[in-house]
Amino acid sequence: MGSSIQLLKPKTKAAKIIRILKKLFPNAKMVLNYGNNWELLVAVVLSAQCTDKKVNEVTAKLFKKYRTLNDYIKAKPKEFEQDIKSTGFYRAKAKNILAAAKVVKEKFGGSLPRTMAEMLTIPGIGRKSANVILGNAYGVVEGIAVDTHVRRLSRLLGLTKEKDPEKIEKDLMQIVPRKDWFKITYLLIDYGRNYCPARPHTHSQCPLSKTGISV
C-alpha cells in the first residue's frame, strides 16, 4: 500500500506540472530550422553547448552551401570546420557530422533510421539527440530528451534526484504519461527560458510556484 502511494505522488505531480505548462505554452516545440531529416540531424549536433539562435544563424548559410547528403560526404574537413566554427566545439562537431553523413549513406541508404538502437550507431548521436531527431523526423518516441533545461528543472521540481541524463530520463519515463514524453522536453525548455532560468532569481515568482508546486 505504502509503495503504491509513493508511486502515485510523483505521477500526480508530473501530470499537474504538464497540465500547467501546456496552458502556458500551447505551441511548445523545437525552434531549430531545417529542411529535411538530414538537416535536422546536423542542426541537433550543432546545438550542443550552443544556443538555438546561433545554430539557426549558422545553418541559414550552411544549408545553402551543402544542399545534399553527398555534399557533406565530399566536404573538406578544415573548410567545414570554419563553416560551423561559431557554434563552438567545431572540430568535434565537424568530425561527427561528416562521419555521420557517410554512415547514413553507407549503412542506411541515405535516410535516417527510425529506431533508437540504429540512431545510436551514428557518430555524435547520443540518447538525447536521438530522441529529438526521432520525435521530430518520424513521430517515433522511445524516450524523453534530457537537455540542460530538462535536467535542471526536473531536479528542481522534485521529479528526480538523479544528475546523470540517462538516469533522469528513466525516472521521468516512470512518472510522465507516454503520450507526453515528446512534449515535456519542449515544455520544460520554454519554461526555463521564459520563467525559470539557471541564473539566480526569485522562484516564488515562477508560475509553477504560484500553483503550490514547490521549487
Reported as a single tens digit per residue, the pLDDT across 157-185 is 999 999 999 999 999 999 999 999 999 99
Average pLDDT in the 122-144 region?
Answer: 98
Q: Does one domain contain both 68 and 124? A: yes
Q: pLDDT tens digit string along 20-65?
A: 999 999 999 999 999 999 999 999 999 999 999 999 999 999 999 9
Catalytic site residue 167? Answer: no
pLDDT score at 7: 46
Catalytic residue among 128, 180, 183, 190: 128
Where b means 16+ CB within 10 Å and e means fewer, 200-213 reads eeeeeebebbeeee
pLDDT score at 206: 82
Catalytic site residue 128? Answer: yes
pLDDT confidence bin for 5, thresholds 50/70/90: very low
Average pLDDT in the 59-75 region?
Answer: 98
Residue-by-residue DSSP string for 103-161: HHHHHHTTS--SSHHHHTTSTT--HHHHHHHHHHHH---SS----HHHHHHHHHTTS--
Q: Does one domain contain both 155 and 127? A: no
Catalytic residue among 83, 147, 171, 180: 147
**Cα separation values, 22 from 115, 143, 190, Å:** 27, 19, 10
Tell me the average pLDDT of the chain: 93
- Domain with residue 87: its CATH number is 1.10.340.30
Residue 138 CA to residue 127 CA, distance in Å, equals 16
Domain assignment of residue 18, yes or no: yes
Supply the angle between the helices 127-138 and 181-194 in degrees, to the nearest 10.
110
**pTM of the entire structure?**
0.92
Which domain range does residue 64 map to? 37-138
Domain assignment of residue 117, yes or no: yes
